[in-house]
Amino acid sequence: MNAYVGTPTSRVDGRAKVTGAAKYAGEFAADGLLHGFVVAATIPCGRIARLDTSEALKVKGVLDVLTHTHRPPLAGKDDAWKDEVAPAEGSPFRPLYDDSIKFNGQPIALVVAEDWETAKFAATLVRVEYREEQAFATDLDAGRSKATEVKQPHEPRGDAVGALAKAAVRHDADYLIPTEHHNPMELFASTVVWDSSGRLTVYDKTQGVQNVHKFLCSVFDKKPDDIRVLSPYVGGAFGSGLRPQYQVVLAMLAALALRRSVRVVLTRQQMYGLGHRPATIEHVGLGAKSDGTLEAVTHEATAVTSRYEDFARNDSGWAEQLYKSPNSRYSHKLVRLDVSTPCDMRAPGAASGVCALECAMDELAVALKLDPIELRLKCYSDRDQSEDLPYTSKQLRECYARGAEAFGWSKRNPASRSMRDGKELVGWGMATGVWEALQMPVAARIGLTANGHAEVSCAASDIGTGTYTIVAQVAADALGLPIENIDVRLADSTLPQAPVEGGSWMAASSAHAVLGAADDIRQELIRLASAMPSSPLAGVDVADVILVGGTIAKAGDMGSAVSIADAMRHGKLERIEKQKLNHFAEDKSYARNTHSAVFAEVKVDEQLGVIRVTRVVSAVAAGRILNTKTGRSQIMGGVVWGIGMALHEETVMDHRFGRIMNANIAEYHIPVNADVQDIDVIFVEERDDRINTLGVKGLGEIGIVGVPAAIANAIYHATGKRIRRFPVTLDKLLA
């Protein structure tokens, strides 16, 4: 029964969030709570020559200043610092470990005081002298020649370079994506609650409590039972909370040093010292026959990473899923610079790489004098070419058709600068989006009580994406109970296993864990109901029995219904508890992806260069949509972020200082209300019986992919100017 799955169910945690009842990591109280304030390095590379904390220690209310020479022990081996999503290559950053400075903004001391204001003041009194040992570098453009190839997302097919050189129509260009920061609304924070037994309860802003738990146990050499990590609510993270961040290590250090509870909250400025979407130069080459079929695709991404870890994602391989070409070559190069290690940020790799690919496709369409959709349909690939596999489902054609219809694409004049509205040039652009449909091992536990209430628990995080709600929906339907009777507990390291919440995998993964546990509950209830005297369910085939309306019944035969309460009472059970790990068939004969077609209208003031995105239509094919309300919001959020990526977002660094100069959200621009106008989200019907029981693929990333390219293509259509260095700002149009 689907009373909830697939419906626009409101967030079950909505009331808690808007009333302030939902508590975040930096809001948990503890007796005698101390506050830590971070002192950050102001050079990008070198050593700490001297760290004088004497003045800070004199301030009334300051208990201690932790530094690399004055702190409890930390693990010494790299392996101990490798969390579940750490890059394979490299040596993870260790806060307050030694005197080396690896990036500007690196924490070098933690002032711990009775209150936050005192700690912040005393932090200004910590005196630091540095030894700058070597020239540093933070500029990707300047470092490009020193890039080293680290991986090929897919094996090359044919001779792409040769075919590109010989192609009748060719487009070959660099697209530049700047460094971007996640800027979640909630600041990174950890509250470590100390109790006299020595056990530590850690409230942390994270996308994975069990990842943090394991990491803290290994870094601090603790037993699993010594530490419990919780993160019941997260105010946005977008990938920045996948890896344990340094504030949780600092809060732990202070709690262990002082045997007190400690909270550390980073400032907005300090958060620019965490991970980021790496700046990339995306070089795309497309060679086509004059009929618009592709002969060659080459895509080489050159990305920034830190000196101490190799962070690399699949920027360049996406044409393999989208466009048929007999020859292809994809590569990923890294430039190691004196910055903190980049990290995943919504649609890592794809947001940047597909942006370049889709701008390049638009340029090819112009060169071929083809409609951009027509070009994409000519190159449409029904198979994932890298493994030559069919898809479990792929309704991208339908995305193009439905999106184009809703947008009114057929009325587009193909010539650039051909459409106008008063002083503004009007441009229509489109792009394709693609992401993976991943699923991971997740377990869920359901405790059903005889009064028809169930508690569903799982260690998964809800980072604002709606996991609480979809878990409640799936459980309510599977157990045949009203959603009000379902309590969901998440993000506690002691709950059943879950990986970090990311990659768009949590919806499918958690939903199927819940389904599995609910099925075990169902079987137990059938056993109990069948055993009742003159049970209408005696001898019935288990497969025919469902849970509906608080009863156990043969499908379609409510006359056979036995109430859950009666069955459990008869079995003398007050509570049934079942825990199950999800199970997905390991079928490697299909590719699994989500897709979208994004259409954008821009209006550009011809004289002043001011750009407005007046309309966006995003048509998404992502299997079954568990919740059309939160799902629509998630896609809208992706579109807004795509507007930012196209027009606003850029972390600006002064390479003379190796320092970010707009580390605040006044100067790091994201779209504000005025920049966001009509957004139309279309969920294209995509039935998928192969991918999993519910046919769910996940929505976290797909919303942003393609949006910046659609907007940049619209700007070209409006103005005739192709801006390949993002973001597209008015000075670039006026130049």
Partner 1 sequence: MINFQFSRARDVADAILLLTGHPGAKLIAGGTNLIDLMKENVEQPSRLIDISRLPLRTIEETADGGLRVGALVPNSGLAYDPLIEQRYPLLASAILAGASAQLRNMASVGGNLMQRTRCAYFYDTATPCNKRTRSSGCSAIDGLNRNHAILGASNSCIATNPSDMSVALAALDALVHIAGPSGERTMALTDFHRLPGETPDIDTNLEADEIITAVELPPRGFASNYSYLKIRDRLSYAFALVSVAAVLELEGNAISEARVALGGVAHKPWRSAEAEMALRGQAATVEHFSRFADSLLQEAKARSHNGFKIELARRAIVRTLMQAASATPQSQAHKKIA
Q: Where on the chain is the footprint of partner 1 (CB under 8 A)? A: 42, 117, 120-121, 124, 269, 423, 603, 605, 607-610, 612, 647-648, 652, 654, 656-657, 659, 661-662, 664, 666-667, 669, 671-675, 677, 729-731, 734-735
Q: How far is the CB of 264 from partner 1 (least distance, A)?
A: 17
CB nearer to partner 1: give 145 or 607. 607
**Upper half-sphere CA count for residue 649 (Cβ side, 13 Å):** 25
**566 near 586, Cβ under 8 Å?**
no
Q: How far apart are CA 117 and CA 59, in angstroms?
A: 12
Q: How far is the CB of 257 from partner 1 (least distance, A)?
A: 25
SS3 75: coil
**226 near 252, Cβ under 8 Å?**
no
Q: How far is the CB of 608 from partner 1 (least distance, A)?
A: 6
Pick from 534, 517, 533: nearest CA to 576: 517
CB nearer to partner 1: give 573 or 730. 730
In sign, the C-alpha dihedral spanning 210, 214, 215, 220 is: positive
Instruction: Kindly report the length of the chain.
Output: 735
Q: How far is the CB of 52 from partner 1 (least distance, A)?
A: 17
Q: Residue 483, Cβ neighbours under 10 Å: how many?
A: 18
Token digits for 734? 């006026």
Q: How far apart are CA 566 and CA 582, in angstroms?
A: 29
Contacting residues for 534 by C-beta, under 8 A, at least 6 apart: none
Residue 727 — left, alpha, or beta (φ > 0 → left; ψ -120 to 50 → alpha)? beta
Q: How far is the CB of 134 from partner 1 (least distance, A)?
A: 19
Q: How far is the CB of 152 from partner 1 (least distance, A)?
A: 36
CB nearer to partner 1: give 189 or 471. 189
CB nearer to partner 1: give 100 or 729. 729
CB nearer to partner 1: give 549 or 609. 609
Q: How far apart are CA 465 and CA 306, in angstroms?
A: 30
CB nearer to partner 1: give 279 or 495. 279
CB nearer to partner 1: give 289 or 423. 423
Q: How far apart are CA 394 and CA 404, in angstroms?
A: 17
CB nearer to partner 1: give 91 or 662. 662
Pick from 641, 649, 664, 648: nearest CA to 272: 664
Contacting residues for 405 by C-beta, under 8 A, at least 6 apart: none
Amino acid at 189: A
DSSP at 221: T
* Residues carrying an active site annotation: 701
Q: Residue 223, Cβ neighbours under 10 Å: how many?
A: 8
CB nearer to partner 1: give 187 or 389. 187
SS3 227: strand
CB nearer to partner 1: give 373 or 733. 733
Q: How far is the CB of 182 from partner 1 (least distance, A)?
A: 18
Q: Which helix (H) or strand (E) holds 662?
A: none
Q: How far is the CB of 675 from partner 1 (least distance, A)?
A: 5
CB nearer to partner 1: give 580 or 603. 603
**332 near 316, Cβ under 8 Å?**
yes
The b/e string for 254-283 (b: 16+ C-beta within 10 A; e otherwise) is bbbbbebbbbbbbeeebbbbbbbbbbbbbb
**495 near 471, Cβ under 8 Å?**
no
Pick from 170, 179, 176, 384: nearest CA to 298: 170
Q: How far is the CB of 614 from partner 1 (least distance, A)?
A: 8
Pick from 315, 328, 437: nearest CA to 379: 328
**362 near 293, Cβ under 8 Å?**
no
Q: How far is CA 132 from the centre of its chain?
A: 36
Residue 363 — left, alpha, or beta (φ > 0 → left; ψ -120 to 50 → alpha)? alpha
Token digits for 674? 């005025």
Q: How far is the CB of 660 from partner 1 (least distance, A)?
A: 9
Q: How far is the CB of 666 from partner 1 (least distance, A)?
A: 7
Pick from 641, 620, 619: nearest CA to 697: 620
SS3 182: coil
